[in-house]
């Protein structure tokens, strides 16, 4: 079918504590166990002469999604970004904790979430507490987190993979030709390159220029952060990066880490040979773990959960977390079980909080590559119609449709590494007639009206169909740019010159006036409080939408997941998954008349 697509190219903080609804199932991993062995008389006397100091250990691993998470039946609770941030905040405030150890083990986060976690590390340091990092192996993002700490430890068998940055984009034109599939795409904007993976075998000059500028910005950030944290010159940092894989011994020699040590030696390093200290490391500090015992009452509570709608009646600021592709209608399960932003779910929620006099402002936290143009516009309009102060905070990505829903805010905050912009339009369809003929399937057509085949997935556009399609794309582009210009209080010509499908980092967008300030979610919260006269911080912060319960997800599910592909994806390395993610893109092209979305295989690692 023909679809008009607005794609972006993109690869997050005060955060309210995660409200664990399943209290019967959860406990804190670092809570004291009642069955500890009693010390002997000699050990008791020695312990009485020693001073106990407690350090918190927090493991950082995985992707840390922005939206609220639901627990599984028996596994650990899924840890989102807000939960992890709150654990670090608690460690900073906990008077019984004298220091923090971060066990960094393969984080899969974007540049904005990296910045959020670095801000939480800075809070621990500001509280006067040392914070150390230990890694077995470490990649770029792992090391940038570790470098924000006071001290870095690695075992002698580890590897520091400080290899620089690389952007990889997969192209499928040759694959389509092998199967006689034709991608017939149109666009508005020279830099609107989202359809290139389907129509080209390599980057266009405009696409390459755009990616080079973004990669330069990220690389400069990476080098400057390491140089500042490790007190090295930027020239030396670049030289160290060019060495590639580093052994811990070499990394220590270069000043990139501080100690070569195993996990069991950490306590001795903290004590620093002081026999009067009794160092206790509280593993998995304040992490909720699920119980292995599940009675009928607990099971029913888990399945039913709570409403995803607002339930508070207190004066408050609504923190609306929007993560994932933007879809119209119900929210189908994605290939990778990723979050999505359903207009059918979000618009009624916005309308409800808009009518609530106790909601004094709305704070958007957006991490979205975009999606349905219709859904993006409906969400944008719902926010406009509340007539409440709206502040937007951008996460890893707020591009195309993600930028659309934020552009009417009273103020827009972006992280330095946010990918945003991508104000442009791509439209088209995938014609399958050639592929079907290979399998012996032919199609007979009877039509009335010269453009009746514009939505057909059998043939490419006729000249007349291409003309009407381009006219529609031009209209969508004009609507997008007109609303963006109004939201940013810019002359249309000035805004349009910045549009044309071009993608920017948050730092670049700030210089160009597409966002107002660079800052974390915590900065956006502070600004919102000031906007409504709540400098004292008395207003409650309510995270919305609430996590859906398994029962709510089941009852609201109308589109089946691509289970065979999902099963296959589970066995693939992360680097190989972008190819499968394009099935989700192609499905959206088939299902949605107009899209504002990114190609999912652009990676900056």
For the annotated catalytic residues, the residue numbers are 192, 400
Handedness of CA 368, 163, 570, 174 (dihedral sign): positive
DSSP 367: E
CA distance 382 to 378: 6
Q: Are 100 and 148 in contact (CB under 8 A)?
A: no
Three-class secondary structure assignment of 430-491 = EECHHHHHHCCCCCCCCCCCCCCCCCCCCCCCCHHHHHHHHHHHHHHHHHHHHHHHHHHCCC
Rounded (5°) CA angle 120-121-125: 115
Of 400, 218, 291, 351, give the one whose Cα is nearest residue 27: 291
Euclidean distance between CA atoms 261 and 296, whole angstroms: 47
DSSP string, 236-295: HHHHHHHH-EE-HHHHHHTTS-SEE--GGGHHHHHHTT-TTEEEEEETTTT-EEE-S---
Q: Which two tokens stand for residue 113?
A: 């979430």
Contact assessment for residue 114 and residue 419, using Cβ atoms and an 8 Å cutoff: no
* CA 368 – CA 386 distance, rounded (Å): 22
């Amino acid at each position: 079918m023909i679809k008009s697509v607005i794609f972006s190219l993109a690869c997050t903080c005060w955060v309210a504590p995660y409200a664990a609804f399943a209290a019967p199932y959860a406990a804190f991993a670092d809570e004291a166990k009642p069955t500890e062995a009693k010390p002997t008389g000699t050990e008791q006397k020695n312990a009485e002469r020693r001073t106990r100091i407690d350090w918190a250990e927090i493991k950082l691993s995985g992707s840390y999604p922005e939206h609220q998470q639901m627990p599984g039946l028996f596994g650990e609770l899924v840890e989102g970004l807000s939960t992890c941030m709150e654990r670090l905040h608690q460690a900073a405030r906990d008077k019984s904790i004298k220091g923090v150890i971060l066990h960094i083990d393969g984080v899969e986060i974007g540049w904005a979430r990296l910045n959020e976690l670095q801000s939480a590390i800075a809070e621990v340091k500001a509280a006067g507490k040392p914070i150390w990092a230990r890694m077995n192996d470490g990649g770029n993002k792992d090391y940038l987190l570790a470098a924000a700490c006071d001290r870095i430890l690695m075992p002698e068998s580890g590897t520091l993979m400080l290899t620089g940055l690389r952007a990889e984009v997969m192209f499928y034109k040759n694959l389509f030709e092998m199967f006689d599939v034709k991608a017939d795409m149109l666009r508005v904007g020279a830099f609107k390159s989202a359809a290139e993976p389907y129509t080209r075998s390599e980057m266009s000059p405009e696409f390459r220029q755009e990616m080079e500028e973004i990669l330069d910005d990220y690389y400069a950030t990476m080098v400057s952060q390491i140089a500042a944290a490790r007190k090295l010159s930027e020239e030396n940092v670049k030289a160290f990066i060019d060495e590639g894989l580093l052994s811990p011994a070499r990394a220590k020699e270069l000043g990139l880490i501080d100690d070569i040590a195993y996990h069991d030696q950490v306590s001795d390093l903290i004590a620093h040979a002081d026999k009067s200290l009794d160092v206790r490391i509280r593993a998995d500090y304040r992490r909720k773990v699920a119980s292995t015992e599940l009675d009928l009452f607990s099971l029913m509570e888990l399945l039913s959960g709570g409403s995803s709608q607002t339930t508070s009646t207190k004066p408050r600021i609504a923190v609306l977390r929007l993560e994932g592709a933007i879809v119209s209608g119900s929210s189908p399960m994605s290939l990778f079980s990723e979050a999505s932003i359903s207009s059918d779910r979000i618009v009624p929620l916005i309308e409800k909080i808009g009518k609530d006099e106790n909601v004094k402002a709305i704070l958007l936290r957006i991490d979205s590559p975009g999606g349905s143009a219709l859904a993006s516009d409906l969400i944008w309009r719902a926010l406009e119609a509340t007539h409440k102060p709206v502040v937007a905070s951008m996460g890893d990505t707020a591009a195309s449709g993600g930028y659309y829903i934020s552009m009417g805010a009273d103020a827009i905050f972006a992280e330095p590494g946010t990918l945003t912009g991508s104000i442009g339009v791509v439209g088209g369809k995938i014609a399958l007639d050639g592929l079907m003929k290979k399998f012996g399937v032919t199609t007979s057509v009877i039509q009335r009206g010269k453009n009746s085949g514009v939505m057909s997935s059998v043939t490419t556009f006729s000249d007349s169909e291409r003309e009407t399609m381009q006219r529609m794309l031009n209209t969508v582009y004009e609507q997008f740019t007109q609303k963006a210009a109004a939201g940013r209080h810019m002359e249309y010509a000035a805004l349009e010159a910045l549009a044309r499908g071009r993608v920017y980092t948050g730092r670049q967008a700030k210089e160009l006036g597409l966002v107002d300030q660079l800052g974390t979610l915590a900065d956006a919260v502070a600004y919102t409080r000031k906007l409504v006269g709540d400098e004292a911080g008395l207003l409650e912060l309510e995270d919305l939408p609430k996590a859906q319960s398994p029962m709510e997800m089941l009852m609201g599910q109308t589109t089946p997941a691509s289970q065979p592909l999902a099963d296959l994806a589970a066995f693939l390395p992360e680097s190989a998954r972008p190819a499968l993610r394009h099935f989700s893109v192609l499905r959206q092209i088939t299902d949605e008349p107009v899209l504002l979305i990114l190609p999912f295989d652009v990676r900056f690692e």
